[in-house]
């Protein structure tokens, strides 16, 4: 969090991912309004490359890196190479990106990550100044230093956003969900039971987290191998043709394939001569639906195994599976998991799944610092939530009434309701219920 010269608090949420990273921001002021439209781009690749000039290495990051340039990928994993992140899985070890290079002589894993986060922060400063103006205090806008930092786990952040966005599906207190964060590099899972939905969401861990390197990048590597097996012997085949075909698969093929073997996928392969034996016609390669299915199956089977382990080890009966992350938006993954498990277990993914982590982290922090976030406590005697700020109100009313004075207090605060996000509306409605409670004690003396 950082402060501007106008006294507003700027909240920035950062999701530093294995393959893509995202930022969401909001600003608060005395009017308690929130801004979720600060998300200027959904995600940017978590990749770094260096250009070497007379003045030294220059860092390129994200979309600054051209398609055919060597780059440092999966840089986050270099910070914890010995952790059990599934580094030895069959898929990740078998399919590598030929553009991926080892660390440069002048950097360590921590240096590369620092360069990336610094570039992200500098880009954020430019965006915020264009949105907010020169009132932004750039000296306090940093990932550290003068800013206050709050750490929230990715599963918790994703769960906060997913449960808030999925309330129409009928989830209730006591339900147990498996949260599957299927991203580009890793698939991470954890199981929660819902302890409380309002006024503040509370979750209880029912099974320890697990994960592996079987994200959607594995599909890219398998598709690249298919192209090389079919076309690499042809004289027209080159890196530019491969890059164009891979871009089509990244943006269309793996995002839309639903598992139907009747749905063929057409890939541009400019410069390749027509050849019916390999499926090339007019510069386009036909990949059959069955070929696409075989690309997906080994990856889907590994994800299914991870989900199955969570369901088996959970202390509570699982009622739903939430899919978030880029791979979590795959219609084939949703269908595969629905077919694999009991019909009693819902498999859900909503449209904001790719940015669920960063949105949930932003929502949690805004809820914690909002002026409307009154601290409440549960009363076992009365069976509902109570707030200590009612103490003064009741004492004052009792005192005035004892002397025959009639006193009226307005319990309403006029705030434009339509300006609230859905989460803030839930919070306001919860607070209105809380304010109807009375205090446990009536400390009063004359």
The whole-angstrom separation of Cα 267 and Cα 248 is 7
Composition of the chain by helix, strand, coil, percent to 5: 40, 20, 40
Whole-number pLDDT of residue 83? 54
pLDDT for position 437: 46
- CA nearest neighbour of 185 among 67, 42, 78: 78
- Other Cβ atoms within 10 Å of 445 Cβ, number: 5
Residue 253 CA: distances (Å) to CA of 246, 247, 265, 417: 9, 9, 7, 42
Strand partners, 377: 386
Q: Which two tokens stand for residue 112?
A: 């590369």
- Residues 383-401: b if buried by 16+ CB within 10 A, e if exposed: eebbbeebeeeebeeeeee
Distance between CA atoms of 140 and 183, rounded to whole angstroms?
A: 31
Please report which helix (H) or strand (E) contains residue 109, including its range.
helix 109-132
Q: Which two tokens stand for residue 299?
A: 């990856």
Cis peptide before 199 (omega within 30 of 0): yes
Beta carbons within 8 Å of 191's beta carbon, 6+ residues apart: 176, 177, 178, 179, 205, 206, 207, 310, 311, 313, 314, 316, 318
pLDDT of residue 9: 77
Tokens representing 277? 């034996």
pLDDT at 419 (0 to 100)? 56
| The two structure tokens encoding residue 420 | 């609230």
241-277 residues labelled b (16+ CB within 10 A) or e (exposed): bbeebbebbbeebbeebebeeeeebebebeebeeeee
Cβ-count burial 155-167 (b if 16+ within 10 Å, e if not): bbbbbbbbbbbbe
* Plot region of 342 (φ>0 → left; ψ -120 to 50 → alpha; else → beta): beta
Q: Alpha carbon of 329 to those of 33, 71, 322, 399: distances in Å?
A: 31, 26, 11, 60
pLDDT, position 53 = 84
CA dist., res. 26 & res. 39, Å (int) = 9
Strand order in the sheet with 2-3: 2-3, 9-15, 20-28, 44-45
Three-state DSSP at 300 gives: helix
Per-residue pLDDT of the chain (446 residues; tens, 9 = 90+): 555 555 567 888 999 988 889 998 887 753 333 444 444 458 899 999 999 888 888 999 999 988 778 888 888 878 876 554 444 344 444 445 566 677 777 788 899 999 999 999 888 888 888 877 766 655 456 665 556 788 888 888 888 888 776 554 577 888 999 999 998 888 999 999 988 877 667 788 999 888 888 889 899 989 999 999 999 999 999 988 998 999 899 989 999 999 999 999 999 999 899 998 999 999 999 999 999 999 999 999 999 999 999 999 998 899 999 999 889 999 999 999 999 999 999 998 877 888 888 888 888 888 777 655 444 555 555 555 555 444 444 444 444 454 455 555 444 445 555 555 555 656 655 555 554 444 444 343 33
Q: What's the number of CA atoms in the CB half-sphere (13 Å) around residue 33?
A: 9
- Cβ-contact 348, 331 below 8 angstroms: no
């Amino acid at each position: 969090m950082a402060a501007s010269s106008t006294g507003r608090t700027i909240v920035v949420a950062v999701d530093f991912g294995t393959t893509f990273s995202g930022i969401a921001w909001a600003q608060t002021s005395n009017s308690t309004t929130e801004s979720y439209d600060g998300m200027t781009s959904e995600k940017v690749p978590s990749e770094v490359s260096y250009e070497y000039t007379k003045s030294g290495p220059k860092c390129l990051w994200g979309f600054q890196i051209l398609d055919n340039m060597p780059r440092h990928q999966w840089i986050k994993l270099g910070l914890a190479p010995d952790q059990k992140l599934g580094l030895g899985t069959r898929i990740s070890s078998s399919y590598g990106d030929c553009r991926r290079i080892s660390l440069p002589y002048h950097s360590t894993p921590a240096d590369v990550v620092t360069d990336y986060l610094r570039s992200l922060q500098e880009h954020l400063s430019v965006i915020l100044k264009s949105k907010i103006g020169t009132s932004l205090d750039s000296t306090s806008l940093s990932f550290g230093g003068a800013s206050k930092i709050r750490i929230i786990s990715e599963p918790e952040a994703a769960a906060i956003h997913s449960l808030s966005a999925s309330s129409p599906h009928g989830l209730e207190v006591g339900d147990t969900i498996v949260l599957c964060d299927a991203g580009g590099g890793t698939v991470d899972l954890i199981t929660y039971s819902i302890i409380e939905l309002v006024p503040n969401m509370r979750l209880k861990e029912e099974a320890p987290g697990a994960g592996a390197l079987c994200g959607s990048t594995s599909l890219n590597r398998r598709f690249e191998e298919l192209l090389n097996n079919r076309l690499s012997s042809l004289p027209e085949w080159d890196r530019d043709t491969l890059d164009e075909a891979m871009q089509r698969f990244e943006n269309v093929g793996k995002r839309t394939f639903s598992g139907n073997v009747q749905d063929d996928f057409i890939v541009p392969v400019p410069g390749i001569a027509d050849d019916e034996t390999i499926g090339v016609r007019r510069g386009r390669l036909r990949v059959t639906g069955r070929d696409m299915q075989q690309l997906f199956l080994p990856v889907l089977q590994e994800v299914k195994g991870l989900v199955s382990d969570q369901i088996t080890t959970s202390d509570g009966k699982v009622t739903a599976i939430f899919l978030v992350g880029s791979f979590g938006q795959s219609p084939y993954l949703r269908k595969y998991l629905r077919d694999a498990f009991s019909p009693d277990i819902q498999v859900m993914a909503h449209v904001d799944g790719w940015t669920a982590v960063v949105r949930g982290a932003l929502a949690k922090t805004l809820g914690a610092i909002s002026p409307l976030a009154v601290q409440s406590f549960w009363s076992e005697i009365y069976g509902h939530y109570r707030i200590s700020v009612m103490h003064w109100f009741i004492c004052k009313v009792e005192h005035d009434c004892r002397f025959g004075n009639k006193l009226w207090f307005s319990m309403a605060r006029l705030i434009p309701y339509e300006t609230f996000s859905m989460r803030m509306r839930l919070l306001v409605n919860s607070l209105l219920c809380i304010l109807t409670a009375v205090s446990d004690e009536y400390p009063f003396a004359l």
